[in-house]
């Protein structure tokens, strides 16, 4: 992948093309994002910098597949979890519903798989309550 713009264009074709041959070609080209753990940081880069919801969806679904199918080290799973909490808090309200749903599914999956591995994963309830109380206060201030 040479540029983010090229990736966004490929993701647009992946999710919207009516040509099954083109879709299959793009899917095989982008498969590396969900199969190779070296691409986890690339997925986070896409989430931070892409404007296309289709590129965001690729990053989210690729991370979901990585978390589900790879044996990721504990610290990496904690880092992904912490990244997702911050990302959802800062950008969640402006995301397309299908991207937001995918990211929430990813957060739930990483929490489920890490629940017995580290106490950080079980803190999700307290973190959600803190987040919701801040949102509620903000709504009442407005």
| pLDDT for residue 124 | 84
Mean pLDDT of residues grouped by 10 in the chain (142 residues)? 86 93 93 93 96 97 95 95 90 91 94 90 80 52 44
| pLDDT for residue 128 | 74
121's CB contacts (< 8 A; 6+ apart) are 78, 81, 110, 111, 114, 115
Cβ–Cβ < 8 Å for 14, 8? no
| pLDDT for residue 139 | 45
Question: pTM for the whole thing?
Answer: 0.85
Single out the residue of 57, 66, 56 nearest to residue 109, CA to CA.
Answer: 66
Single out the residue of 4, 40, 67, 101 nearest to residue 12, CA to CA.
Answer: 4
| pLDDT for residue 89 | 85
Q: Which two tokens stand for residue 89?
A: 């808090």
- Structural domain total, the chain: 1
Residue 36 belongs to a domain with what CATH number? 1.25.40
| pLDDT for residue 32 | 92
Residue-range definition of the domain harbouring residue 63? 4-141
């Amino acid at each position: 992948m040479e540029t983010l713009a090229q990736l966004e264009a490929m993701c647009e074709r992946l999710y919207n093309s009516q040509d099954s041959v083109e879709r299959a070609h793009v899917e095989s080209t982008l498969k590396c994002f969900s199969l190779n753990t070296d691409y986890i940081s690339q997925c986070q880069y896409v989430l931070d910098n892409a404007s296309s919801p289709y590129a965001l969806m690729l990053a989210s679904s690729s991370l979901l597949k990585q978390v589900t199918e790879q044996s990721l080290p504990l610290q990496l799973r904690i880092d992904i979890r912490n990244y997702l909490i911050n990302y959802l808090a800062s950008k969640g309200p402006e995301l397309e519903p299908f991207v937001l749903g995918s990211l929430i599914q990813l957060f739930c999956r990483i929490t489920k798989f890490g629940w017995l591995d580290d106490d950080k994963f079980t803190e999700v309830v307290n973190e959600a309550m803190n987040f919701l109380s801040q949102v509620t206060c903000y709504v009442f201030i407005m």
